[in-house]
Structure 1
Amino acid sequence: MSLDPLVSLLAAIGMLLIGTLVNRKVSWLSRYNIPDPITGGLIFAVLSSLLLATADFRITFDQPIKPLFLLMFFSGVGLCADLRLLKRGGKALIIFLIVLLPFIVLQNIVGVSIAMLQDLHPIFGLVAGSITLVGGHGTGAAYAGRFAEVNNLQMVMDLTMTVATIGLIVGGIIGGPIAQFLINRYKLRSNAEASNEDHRFVEAPAPLGTVSTLGALAGIFTAVILGQWLADFFAGGTITIPGFLWCMLIGIAIRNLLPFAGVEFDDRAADLISNVSLSLFLVMTMMTLDLVEVALSAGPFLLIILAQVVLIFLYVVFVCFRFMGRDYEAAVTSAAFIGFNMGSTATAMANMQAITSRHGPAPTSNLIAPLAGAFFVDIMNAFVLTGMLALPFIGG
């Protein structure tokens, strides 16, 4: 049975709502920050696989709008990137980013090396590297579409979604224990006291209006149009910057140039549109997974993920923790570092919350982690991947 574009979109929205409901009811799904579209899409993929196996009944979708949702997501990320927030992070944020950059490179080197040892295409090493583990499902899907088209790699989208989901779970499982290991080993404790200011009355922000939402939508579409044009204009060069990265960079430019023209921008509208776009893209992608093929093909990736776990443990203990100050804040930041590099910003925040709820507040960590996750991690990851894909033995 084939569904037309409008029915396909309605089915995706329905499964997204079902995924949201299931995540609220099943505690361990919430604990490990499994995204709602992943849960909903996987439920559909399981049911469709069972129908195909038992009744030879296949459901196919017509989803011409799906690529647009992905570009809208990255454009929205750019529109939420207020560079003036750099001042708030200060020295700790700069150190965190300096520590983060070489790890992204190392993560890809490990992935590519083990992939080549298993006689896999090197690009699969990047898929089990920072494409999915740092970039998450959104970045993974963006690159997977390119790899399927340009490099003719089979099952790359399905495997990308699988690795990204495993990364979320692993990042949520190991972040807390590794931070706890550092706290116990060095006998660390929080020196921060909860401020009375945290309990003061804060006026609720004004609700989103039609004008602010339309303004964000106009900014997102502008970034999509200009980003696609720039991607086509610079296509065929020595280093090819993917279209979604151009969209994000245009979004950043729009967001940070508007204040000079006296235009105030409501980040909430862009963030809402961006999140909805990513959720719809992901649930559409997950609904078309061939789970049987994924199960048969995912074996070699488990070895790469195991190596990534060993790498991040060693890097956190001997590099991140030491450079961030070897104190309680550094241990909490290390938990966030694991969340960023094995799962997502949400995983990073959940890891920190688990530690601080037990051992006390870590105000510096709670400041720099959202700032880093807002856009710095994605930008750094994109440029590292662009450079690695330009290497002849990987992307050539």
Structure 2
Amino acid sequence: MFHLDTLATLVAATLTLLLGRKLVHSVSFLKKYTIPEPVAGGLLVALALLVLKKSMGWEVNFDMSLRDPLMLAFFATIGLNANIASLRAGGRVVGIFLIVVVGLLVMQNAIGIGMASLLGLDPLMGLLAGSITLSGGHGTGAAWSKLFIERYGFTNATEVAMACATFGLVLGGLIGGPVARYLVKHSTTPNGIPDDQEVPTAFEKPDVGRMITSLVLIETIALIAICLTVGKIVAQLLAGTAFELPTFVCVLFVGVILSNGLSMMGFYRVFERAVSVLGNVSLSLFLAMALMGLKLWELASLALPMLAILVVQTIFMALYAIFVTWRMMGKNYDAAVLAAGHCGFGLGATPTAIANMQAITERFGPSHMAFLVVPMVGAFFIDIVNALVIKLYLMLPIFCGLTDEAAVFSPPPFTHSSNVPSPASSVLSGLLPVVGNVREYVAPGAELPGSSPDRAVNPPL
């Protein structure tokens, strides 16, 4: 086993990004279907590590201590670039998009349970292959698998959840580009920008009146650092209260308040292009670390029936984005970018959604609305509504027979750890083990608390 320290991991991440850029620009298929560069490079590295492990028994571990700060820095830049007037104008769009997202959550669980029953699997496995791991990601999968182990006797729930979430993370980064490219052809590109012309920034209109200097970078880094510091303090103060929020949501809100407050008071005007550049760097490095650290051999634990469920879920996600998300959001360019983002967090995680949207906007032009709506819905609201949807499904008769009623209606409080973040709201603590901050990426294979009951609903895969 080889272990790379923080600096070596950073070097590996940057090389992974450069590799991904080379791949996307060299392989016509990747460029044509707008596959994000971190996804292309990260998956190739993960595949290489898989070959090393299977052929020679070598395993490479990375020091991921920079991963979460990079993710928080990205959400800070989203907040710093958010304009209050634009947020106010986007209120209706957020509401419509949330309705679209809820529809997907319901259908993902219906497909999972239906396919599980059709293939002779336990319905709990269908739920794990539904919105718990696909729209919820590794964090939600980790939390619910703990409940399934302790209350339902599903001994291999954690392995199934991590494998499903890993599968979703990979596919979420692969289908967003092709779906959006198809939709852009049926939409109006912004400002008449040709399809083959790249836009210098990913999620804001550039401020061509100023140049990015060393002073501007220092000022911007200071703002991001303030957002991270204050956001963490706010999250700690709210912990255990009815207003508890995920750390990254607090960081994002601090960014919004800081940026708009300084502007309204006339003290300082945030340089949006510099913020966008640093945000893109943070997101790219985060995704590179997350994807190159994937333990793809965990997917081997998926039996063929479970793999069939996930393939159907992936196809349905693409069709849902085309026929529901795009149409409901207005059938325009912004709707196409939103559909790409929905593919990202509908199968994987919010950072994957942002990477999908960046790959589109870098080529076809900016979509300010999409980069305001997706982080709000995909990083915060979805955790709450997903909790409610999952809980309603667990009230169905097919699940009530698996355990006593008290176990179904009174899940234990989730044990906090450095890998799986705290609940979004203690008010909802009776609804599920964890509600919020589950979109923060949890590395596959992370050690999770849980007991091993005597009864197993399904034999290990």
Compute the TM-score of the two structures, normalised by the length of structure 1.
Answer: 0.74
Distance in 1 (CA, whole Å) between partners of 2:286 and 2:45 is 15
Preserved CA contact (<8 Å) 1:12 1:284: yes
CA offset at residue 378 of structure 1? 1.3
Q: What is the percentage of aligned positions where both structures have the same residue? A: 23
SS at the partner of 1:60? Answer: strand
User: Matches of residues 1-396 of structure 1 in structure 2 within 5 Å?
Assistant: 1-85=2-86, 96-117=93-114, 118=116, 119-120=124-125, 122=127, 125-126=130-131, 129-131=134-136, 144-145=138-139, 147-148=141-142, 152=146, 153-154=158-159, 159-160=164-165, 162-175=167-180, 177=182, 204-237=208-241, 240-262=244-266, 263-297=268-302, 299=307, 300-315=309-324, 320=328, 324=330, 330=331, 332=333, 334-343=335-344, 344=353, 347=356, 370-391=367-388, 392=391, 395-396=432-433
Deviation, structure 1 residue 146 = 6.6
Q: Structure 1 residues 220, 175: closer, same or farther in 2, change over 3 A?
A: closer
Q: 2-side partners of 1:284 and 1:176: how far apart?
A: 26
- CA distance in 2 between partners of 1:349 and 1:10 (Å): 23
Distance 1:121 1:232 in 2: 35
Q: Which runs of 5+ in 2 are unaligned?
A: 117-123, 147-157, 194-205, 345-352, 395-430, 434-461
Q: Distance in 2 between matches of 1:53 and 1:7?
A: 23
Residues 9-46 of structure 1 show CA distances to partners (whole Å, capped at 9, x for unaligned) of 22222222222222221122122222222222222211
Runs of 4+ in 1 over 6 A off after TM superposition: 192-195, 349-354
Q: Distance in 2 between matches of 1:237 and 1:43?
A: 43
Partner of 1:136: none
CA distance in 2: counterparts of 1:149 and 1:277, whole angstroms: 27
The structure-2 alpha-carbon separation of the partners of 1:333 and 1:75, relative to structure 1 and needing over 3 Å to count, comes to closer
The whole-number CA distance in structure 1 between the counterparts of 2:272 and 2:179 is: 32
State the distance in 2 between where 1:147 and 1:235 align: 22
Q: Secondary structure of 1:33's partner? A: coil
Aligned to 1:327: none
Closer, same or farther in 2 for the Cα pair 1:228/1:301, shift >3 Å?
Answer: farther
Once the two structures are overlaid, the 10-residue window that deviates more, 74-83 or 373-382, is 373-382
Q: Is the 8 A contact 2:184 2:333 kept in 1?
A: yes
SS at match of 1:259: helix
For the residue of structure 1 that corresponds to 2:210, the secondary structure is coil
Give the aligned residue type for 1:16: L
Q: CA deviation at 1:147?
A: 5.0
Secondary structure of 1:2's counterpart equals strand
Query: Which residue identity is paired with 1:387?
Result: I
What displacement does 1:385 show? 1.9
Between the aligned partners of 1:208 and 1:193, the Cα distance in structure 2 is 24
Number of aligned residue pairs: give it.
Answer: 347
Tell me the CA shift for residue 332 of structure 1.
4.9
Relative to 1, partners in 2 of residues 1:296 and 1:124: Cα closer, same or farther, differing over 3 Å?
same
Structure 1 pair 86–46 and aligned structure 2 pair: CA distance change class (3 A)? closer
- The letter of the residue matching 1:267 is E
Paired with 2:62 and 2:243, the residues of 1 have a C-alpha distance of 34
Deviation at residue 208 of structure 1 after TM alignment: 0.6
Q: Contact (CA 8 Å) 2:81, 2:259: kept in 1 or not?
A: yes
Distance 1:68 1:174, change over 3 A: closer
**TM-score normalised to structure 2 length:** 0.64
Does the residue aligned with 1:22 lie in a helix, a strand or coil?
helix
Aligned to 2:400: none
CA distance in 1, matches of 2:34, 2:272: 23
Q: Is there any run of 5+ residues in structure 1 with no aligned partner, and where? A: 132-139, 184-189, 196-201, 325-329, 357-365
CA RMSD across the alignment: 3.6
Once residues 349 and 21 of structure 1 are traced to their aligned partners in structure 2, the CA distance between those partners, rounded to angstroms, is 17
Contact 1:231 1:243 in 2 (8 A): yes
C-alpha distance after superposition, 1:155-174 (max 9, x if no partner): 75664454244234333334
User: Cα distance 1:222–1:116, how it changes in 2: closer, same or farther (>3 A)?
Assistant: farther
- 1:239 deviates by 6.8
Counterpart of 2:378, as a letter, is N
The secondary structure found in structure 1 opposite 2:35 is: coil
Change (3 A) 1:41 1:129: closer
Q: By how many angstroms is 1:151 displaced?
A: 5.5
Displacement of 1:248 in angstroms is: 1.0
Asked if the contact 1:212–1:265 (Cα under 8 Å) also holds between the matched residues in 2, the reply is no
Cα deviation per residue 1:89-114 (whole Å; 9 max; x = unaligned)? x6xx6664443221011112222333
